[in-house]
Amino acid sequence: MVLVVAAATVLPFGCYSQTASYQAMSDVPTKIEFERSGGFAGVTLSVVIQLDQLPEEEAQHLRGLVQNAHIFELQSPPRSPDQADAFQYTLNVHTQNNSKTLTFDESNISAEAKPLIQILTKYAKAQRRSAQ
């Protein structure tokens, strides 16, 4: 099931122009699947975002964050040793003909990917709120 969230209240806009630098239409992200699992509570938080179903400004902002995070060039980092109860983040970004899955734990998210993870967490929480 695909759930689309309109969460205008959580969005700090301001990166609209960045999608202009995608090389080709086929490189532009179309769908993002996001999951936060683990943590002490072990409660999973997730959301699937179809970018073409979001208001254009939100979609542009997310495309910019995906690009800044260099998702398609990254590899999942090794798990941090001796850490327990940290959140595990799984991110699956789709383009027209490609997709990439990455897994992080909260201590090894790259600085570039962090804003994307943060905003996806907000989308997932907005969806959780709507499940009330």
Partner 1 sequence: MNRNSHNGRSPLTCIVPDHILRHLAERGTARQKDWAMKTLITTARLRGHREVLQTFAESLLPAGEKRRTIYDAGHKEKLPGKLVRGEGSPATGDKAIDEAYDGAGATYDFYWNVYKRNSVDNKGMRLDSSVHYSEDYDNAFWNGKQMVYGDGDGEIFDRFTKSIDVIGHELTHGVTQFTARLEYSGQSGALNESYSDVFGSLVKQNHLKQTAAQADWLIGVGLFTPNVKGVALRSMKAPGTAYDDPQLGGKDPQPDHMSKYVKTSSDNGGVHLNSGIPNHAFYLVATQLGGNAWDKAGRIWYVTLTERLQPTSEFQDAATLTYKVAGELYGTGGAEQNAVASAWDKVGIKVS
Where does this chain bind partner 1 (CB under 8 A)?
Answer: 35, 37-44, 79-88, 90, 103, 107, 125, 128-129, 131-132
Of 51 and 120, nearer to partner 1 (C-beta) is 120
d(CA 24, CA 40) in angstroms, rounded, equals 42
Of 31 and 122, nearer to partner 1 (C-beta) is 122
Smallest separation, CB 61 to partner 1 (Å): 20
Residue from 26, 37, 47, 35 nearest 94 by CA: 26
Smallest separation, CB 22 to partner 1 (Å): 29
Q: How far is CA 125 from CA 32, 79, 81, in A?
A: 15, 25, 28
d(CA 62, CA 16) in angstroms, rounded, equals 9
d(CA 132, CA 130) in angstroms, rounded, equals 5
Of 68 and 103, nearer to partner 1 (C-beta) is 103
Of 6 and 43, nearer to partner 1 (C-beta) is 43
Smallest separation, CB 107 to partner 1 (Å): 7
d(CA 99, CA 104) in angstroms, rounded, equals 17
Smallest separation, CB 26 to partner 1 (Å): 28
